[in-house]
Amino acid sequence: QVQVAESGGGLVEAGGSVKLSCEFNGLPFRELAMGWFRQVPGKEREEVSCLDYRSRDTTMSYVASLKGRVTFSRDNVQYTLTLQMNRLRPEDTGKYFCAAARGEYCSESLDEYTDWGHGTQVTVSS
């Protein structure tokens, strides 16, 4: 049985930072691409960033407003992911999720991600 658990969310002041973590059990973590996603109020879930199975970290983000403010890392020994977000803004408020892809490489389609966590809430106060 696959288990996915996010942690690290909370209330943060604008301009501050937060580090989210995600732990996986029960799947071939090293063989799969991994992604972070978010759902902010009033919008559909969107992909924040992704790492394919060979990559260890990236500062890439699919979300234009997050570019230059995130670092996504994976640990293929501990089977964990981290998402560091800096210079947070109130519009970053939302629920953040991690998920494993169906295969080795990243996809911009959320349908290509299978095992999802329940999410962790990040609230940025102005």
DSSP code per residue over 2-24: -EEEEE--EEEETT--EEEEEEE
CA distance 118 to 92: 18
In the prediction, which pLDDT does 96 show? Answer: 98
CB under 8 A, 24+ apart: contacts of 45-53:
45/97, 45/110, 47/108, 47/110, 48/72, 48/83, 48/96, 49/83, 50/101, 50/106, 50/107, 51/81, 51/106, 52/104, 52/105, 52/106, 53/104, 53/105
In the prediction, which pLDDT does 119 show? Answer: 96
In the prediction, which pLDDT does 112 show? Answer: 97
In the prediction, which pLDDT does 80 show? Answer: 97
Ordered per-residue pLDDT tens for the chain, 126 residues? 999 999 999 999 999 999 999 999 999 999 999 999 999 999 999 999 999 999 999 999 999 999 999 999 999 999 999 999 999 999 999 999 999 999 999 999 999 999 899 999 999 999
In the prediction, which pLDDT does 20 show? Answer: 98
Please tell me what DSSP assigns to residue 31: G
In the prediction, which pLDDT does 34 show? Answer: 97
